[in-house]
Structure 1
Amino acid sequence: MNSLKLLLSVLVCFVSFKSFAEGLKLNEAVNTALSQSPKVQKSESQYKESQWKSTESYAGFLPTLSANASYLFDKKYALVDVNMNNTPLTIPQVVPTTNLYLTAQWSIFDGFASTHRYLSAGAFADSAKNDFDWTRFQVEREVIVLFYKALAAKELKTVAEQNVRALNDHLKDVRLFKKVGTSTNYDVLRVEVQMSEAQSELLNATDNVEVTRARLSEALGQDEDVSEVEGALPRLKPELVAKLSAFSPEERKDLQALRQKAEGFRHQEDSAEKYWVPRLALVGQYQYYNNRNDRFDDYENGFRDAWQYGISLTWNIFDGMTSISRSKQSIEQKYQAEKTLRQAELKAKRDFDFWKRKYLYYCAVYEARQNDIAKSEESVRLSREGQKVGARTNTDVLDAEAELYRAKAGSVNAQMGALEALVNLELSTGQKLVDFN
């Protein structure tokens, strides 16, 4: 038995170590965020709350039943003076020591205020559902951007490390060449300056790796930083957005949520303005009481029953401006919701045009940087060959390698810019243009 436990422990440790060694993949990051992100969990809780508020609105159509019970430990009866046949009498008002009530009420008509409350709650619930769906979509795309930013930071760190190693080799060479008289102090100083700058870029790239991992961990809802990310930056093409000719707000769940929220406030306003309508309800009460003695368990000789039922009409003539104020508040809430929707629609259209242009720009830059890399690699090869035969100097090789590393870094930055623009374009349209998983 102990051997089996030990074997299981070793297997768990091996699997955990293997998972850690393999690093975090994109689909794992997305699934973790959708299940553990506080932003998603909060939105889901708001959706569930709205569902219960919708259930609460049923109260305007269902009867209510309440029970009350009382038992008096001591009492002094109130006295009533009456005159019977010119004889004054004092009669005590007997109060039941034990009293049980059942009260029922069913609203028949309230000016359709309950109907509008029900419609309002339903619209708010639909709004919360769309907001929850949008939050999941938004968090998913944000995690994709953060994941690839962490991956891009790791690649930029690799490029910076390669640049530092190359400059370090050049610095050794140029110092040796200076000793034999083929290089000058100017050449040494020039490489040292470039080396200092490259080391600073490496420190910045290392810091960016930690920062991007920390931001990704925060988006995933984890206290500890995530392990190393694994994958490759996607190579995006301009053709992805060719079918997007005009902005269409129908796919935007957040705009639908705002639209339904405005509808909910409109029904809420219709309900609040019915304060002047009389309320009509069926009412009934059953009473089981003992006013014969002070016992609470004398069911055979002490208790009696009584009941009453009928129709109740309630008309709120004046309540200190409370109902009028609530009605005016609901009007302003509806107005604010409509303007928030209008503001979001205007921004969404501008975002669509902006990010589409940005995406096409970064795609063009990426293609240019890829060409630069190919040319820079050839330039490095030719400069090294020329150096061997004495046609090129160490400075020429150094300049060619510097151009190559700049082209590689520019390619990664352009690739990341296109990816970020594409995700923002997806957020502006509400559509998944690429399945990154």
Structure 2
Amino acid sequence: MNIKFVFFSIIFIVQAAVFAQELITPEKAVTLALENNYGIKLAGTDVEIAKNNADILNSGYLPTLTGNAGANYNIDDTEVGFSDGTNRVLNGAESSSYNASVDLNYTLFDGLGRSYNYKQFKEIKQLTELQARETIENTIVQLFTIYYNVAELIENKDAVFQTLTISKDRLIRSQYQFEYGQSNKLATLNAEVDINNDSISLMNTLQELNNAKRDLNFVLGNTISENFDISTEVVFDNLYDKNELLEKTKANNISILQVNKSIGINKLGVKSETSAYLPTVGLSGSYGWNKNNNNAASFAAYSINTGLSAGLSLRWNLFDGGSTITNVRNAKVNLDAQNILKEQLLVSVVRDFNNAWDDYDNKLSVYRLQEHNIKTAQNNFDRTKEQFKLGQINSIEFRQAQLNLLNAELSRNQAKYFAKIAEMQMLQISGELLNVKF
């Protein structure tokens, strides 16, 4: 009775787990990740900030316009002496002044510094976009690593459940044989032990599957319900040319693209520092209004001035103690460092591509061998099953054939998804990951 209860309870759990589930295809998973993954969203905010920095409003090409206004009030004790020898004393004499102006400042020429800075901001924006692309690529690889882990566990669950069903049939058969005196109690006890072991394996697999589904949902931004299913179909119909992919790696690898962009930024940085050798020419203008209310000691009771003023200024830093020379030298050293980093990176990326290619080729070959091994294990199990029914072999030999088939299925499942993940990692290194159809 306990064995039956456990068996039917597990059947209920498995059937409930697959009832009315939403199907998440690879295409849908990628779409959900691009829209809702937290890392991708944060990368998007970095791109938005870089766009703002590369705008004309942050270039230094636009003038500044400032409004100013002020008021002063004074109470003074004043003694005034006149040229005829007389004097006048005023206690608590009041005076006030008011002013308002609009001031314009514009740099006509700054040694081309702002031009290089503006170009740097545009290059930094493009670098930030490449960094966002790297985040997307890493997220997609992470997504499918988890996605195919879920797929593997789903197929493992089906394989273990099938094994449990076979063990249940064996138990029923051994019970009938025991009742009719065709076998002893040992066969029934062995079948019960195997059912318990298969039940434990199934429950553990279900637990791993639930955990993996939660991990997948997290990468998707927790946008789907817990009750979902995924596609376990995997296709290996792409014929890759190694030399062609290697050339694409050198041209499109995200790390190489980023270091190329950094070299461009550093070249502009050298020019920006060099611009400090040249003078700065500025233009200023002001339109103002001033009113003064004088105290009684003044000849005029008040005065009002309204007018426009403009000026041109030249500033040339002839010698700044060597700071500009040092900054230019350091900028050139940084540029040399970026070129060295690029050389190192090219060697590293080529090595990584060759490793990824061999890893993919090896895992694909292993998967194909495992597919062939499944046929052998299935054929062996079918023959063993017939011999078991005829009483030509015992339950231990039958169980071994059963476990051999199960292990072959589990190994095949693992090899299949390992090969697919290796393919994606190879495409990521070559810069082609975002160009394939999922």
* TM value normalised by structure 2: 0.78
Equivalent residue letter for 1:135: T
The alpha-carbon distance between structure 1 residues 22 and 54, as it changes in their structure 2 partners (threshold 3 A), is closer
Question: How far has the Cα of 1:117 moved from its partner?
Answer: 0.5
Equivalent residue letter for 1:410: S
Distance in 2 between residues matched to 1:367 and 1:42, nearest whole Å: 40
Contact residue 233 and residue 415 of structure 1 kept, 8 A: no
Equivalent residue letter for 1:109: F
Q: Which residue of 1 aligns with 2:128?
A: 128
Distance in 2 between residues matched to 1:110 and 1:79, nearest whole Å: 50
Residue 306 (str. 1) matches residue 321 (str. 2): no
Q: How does 1:195-344 map to 2 (within 5 A)?
A: 195=195, 197-222=197-222, 226-237=226-237, 239-240=239-240, 244=244, 246-247=246-247, 248-292=249-293, 303-316=304-317, 341=342, 344=345
Sequence identity of aligned pairs in percent? 17
Question: How far has the Cα of 1:424 moved from its partner?
Answer: 0.4
What 5-or-longer segments of structure 2 have no aligned partner? 1-18, 296-301
Q: Which residue of 1 aligns with 2:428?
A: 427
Residue 395 (str. 1) matches residue 392 (str. 2): no
Q: Which residue of 2 aligns with 1:350?
A: 351
User: Deviations 1:206-254 (Å, cap 9, x if unpaired)?
Assistant: 2221222122111111276543223233132573455646353212244
Distance in 1 between residues matched to 2:327 and 2:83, nearest whole Å: 55
Q: Which residue of 1 aligns with 2:52?
A: 52
Distance in 2 between residues matched to 1:79 and 1:202, nearest whole Å: 103
Distance in 2 between residues matched to 1:390 and 1:228, nearest whole Å: 44
Distance in 2 between residues matched to 1:271 and 1:352, nearest whole Å: 37
Q: Which residue of 1 aligns with 2:161?
A: 161
Distance in 2 between residues matched to 1:267 and 1:77, nearest whole Å: 59
What 5-or-longer segments of structure 1 have no aligned partner? 1-18, 295-300
User: Deviations 1:280-321 (Å, cap 9, x if unpaired)?
Assistant: 212222221111479xxxxxx964213332221234578899
Equivalent residue letter for 1:75: N
Q: Which residue of 1 aligns with 2:148?
A: 148
Secondary structure of 2:229's aligned partner: coil
Equivalent residue letter for 1:110: D
Q: Which residue of 2 aligns with 1:75?
A: 74
User: Deviations 1:354-389 (Å, cap 9, x if unpaired)?
Assistant: 221111112111111111111222222212222333
Secondary structure of 2:392's aligned partner: coil
Q: Which residue of 1 aligns with 2:113?
A: 113
The alpha-carbon distance between structure 1 residues 291 and 425, as it changes in their structure 2 partners (threshold 3 A), is same
Q: Number of paired residues?
A: 409
RMSD: 4.1
Distance in 1 between residues matched to 2:194 and 2:79, nearest whole Å: 109
Contact residue 273 and residue 327 of structure 1 kept, 8 A: yes
Distance in 1 between residues matched to 2:100 and 2:268, nearest whole Å: 40
> For structure 1, which segment, 235-244 or 44-53, has the greater mean C-alpha deviation from structure 2 after superposition?
235-244
User: Deviations 1:2-44 (Å, cap 9, x if unpaired)?
Assistant: xxxxxxxxxxxxxxxxx96343222222111111112222222
Distance in 2 between residues matched to 1:374 and 1:332, nearest whole Å: 63
Distance in 2 between residues matched to 1:79 and 1:388, nearest whole Å: 128
The alpha-carbon distance between structure 1 residues 169 and 60, as it changes in their structure 2 partners (threshold 3 A), is same
Distance in 1 between residues matched to 2:245 and 2:392, nearest whole Å: 54
* TM value normalised by structure 1: 0.78
Question: How far has the Cα of 1:436 moved from its partner?
Answer: 4.4
Distance in 2 between residues matched to 1:196 and 1:388, nearest whole Å: 22
